[in-house]
A = this chain, B = another copy of it.
């Protein structure tokens, strides 16, 4: 059951990294959270960097898969963007701590992995951009500044992990709904 224990450690690391940051979290603190000594962690993980990579790419891959699915299945641009936002919000709300790590701590990845990560992120950004493009072609979105629109949408979505409270009244699909509405009336052509 090495994998199971490893997963527990990663979950605990998410909490610590999200709260104190990657560098601000020591292996001894993390071990203490698990009721272990620091050295014992190394039965289950390769290194501290290993933890960060796992967390960052776990969220990254979830997002990439989600956007790929959307761009494969849904045709209408509005539907696509709504679906993409919904997926993104749900991924963040299902993994709020990991998402904070994904957003804030990726820069501490080893150089090679950092490059790989940035490529993944650009790929996702490209996925969103394609949806906007479709909307412009369909003439339901105003063409003004594509990149600006994408960045603003992504910032709003990414920031959710900063304030989202699983115990709060606002549920993920409600958040997605509101956010999409907000974004749309800012993008849609109103004759």
Interface residues of A (CB under 8 A from B): 19-21, 23-24, 104, 107-108, 144-145, 148-149, 151-152, 154-156, 158-159, 162-163, 170, 175, 178-179, 181-186, 190
For A170, list chain B residues within 8 Å (CB).
148
Assuming the contacts A108-B24, A156-B155, A158-B159, asked whether A185 and B185 have C-beta atoms less than 8 A apart, the reply is: yes
Q: Which residues from B are CB-within-8-Å of A155?
A: 155-156, 158-159, 162
Interface of A is mostly: helix
> Please, which residues of chain B bring their CB within 8 A of the CB of A154?
159
In the complex, chain B residues whose CB is within 8 Å of the CB of A144: 178, 181
B151/A159 in contact, CB under 8 A: yes
Expressed in whole angstroms, the Cα–Cα distance for A111 and B21 within the complex equals 16
- C-alpha spacing A186/B178, complex, angstroms: 11
CB distance from A65 to the nearest CB of B (A): 24
Chain B residues positioned under 8 Å from A175 (CB to CB) = 148
Q: Residue on B with the closest CB to A25?
A: B23
5 smallest A-B Cβ distances: which pairs? A155-B159, A186-B186, A23-B23, A23-B24, A182-B186
A179 nearest CB across to chain B (Å): 7
| Bound form: Cα–Cα A23–B23 in Å | 6
**Within the assembled complex, what's the spacing in Å between the Cα atoms of A20 and B182?**
34
CB-based contact B182/A185 at 8 Å: no
